[in-house]
Amino acid sequence: MIEGMVGKSKLVFLSNPKGRIGSTEVRLQDGSIEKISWVRDDQGIWIETPSGYLGFDVRKTENDEGGFEYQLLRRRHAGVLSGVSFLKAGEQVDSSSGSKAKKGARVKSQMPGKIVRILVQPGAEVKKGQSLLVMEAMKMENEIKSPQDGVIKAVKVTEGQAVESGAELILF
């Protein structure tokens, strides 16, 4: 059984999703049960819920500690969920490491685009959620926000620069 947090809500799959296409039921935090279906493609997954379809690109990267992080990019929206991790059923979150800022953390581009504005300089102290830069991608301006509290070590891009997906933008 897979369980995890989606935002602040707990979600429990009542059977493990397997294969390219399938359906299952999930128990929501309020105890209600909802049926979902999924279709996997080369980039991620489409999920059908009673309220409609949601598409996500799933990217897996190795972090500085040798573990894996996942990024979920909601299709057709500018939103990006970074630093997403998945736990196996019964596995607990290590709260002692969750509150510490990671040394040498990197903010990377989630998609190709053009840097419109840089809002921070090396040496600046930033808070989690603070805007770092503005990037234009898919004809939309997207604010790239800090994933953590910390000090900016380096800004790896300049205004007007075109960047590819996965390019390093800012180092902590």
pLDDT along the chain (172 residues), means of 10: 61 76 82 83 74 69 72 59 50 48 73 90 90 86 86 91 87 86
What integer pLDDT is reported at residue 96 of this predicted model? 46
Same-domain check for residues 47 and 127: no
* Domain closes at, from 88, 120, 136: 88
Token pair for residue 19?
């294969």
The backbone torsions φ and ψ at residue 59, rounded to the nearest 5 degrees and listed phi first, read -120, 135
94 found inside a domain: no
Same-domain check for residues 12 and 59: yes
Same-domain check for residues 44 and 71: yes
* Domain closes at, from 28, 62, 88: 88
Same-domain check for residues 121 and 82: no
Domain containing 13: what range? 1-88
What integer pLDDT is reported at residue 103 of this predicted model? 60
What integer pLDDT is reported at residue 98 of this predicted model? 45
DSSP string covering the chain? -BEEEETTEEEEESS---SSEEEEEEEETTS-EEEEEEEE-SSEEEEEETTEEEEEEEEEEE-TTS-EEEEEEETTSS-EEEEE---BTT----HHHHTSPPTT-EEE-SS-EEEEEE---TT-EE-TT-EEEEEEETTEEEEEE-SSSEE--EE---TT-EE-TT-EEEE-
14 found inside a domain: yes
Same-domain check for residues 134 and 80: no
What integer pLDDT is reported at residue 71 of this predicted model? 65
Same-domain check for residues 61 and 140: no
97 found inside a domain: no
93 found inside a domain: no
What integer pLDDT is reported at residue 75 of this predicted model? 65
169: left (phi over 0), alpha (psi -120 to 50) or beta: alpha
Of 160, 86, 75, the C-alpha closest to 110 is: 75
Query: Cα(26)–Cα(49) distance, rounded to whole angstroms?
Result: 10
pTM of model > 0.85: no
Q: How many domains does the chain have?
A: 2
Same-domain check for residues 150 and 120: yes
For residue 164, what is the domain's CATH number?
2.40.50.100
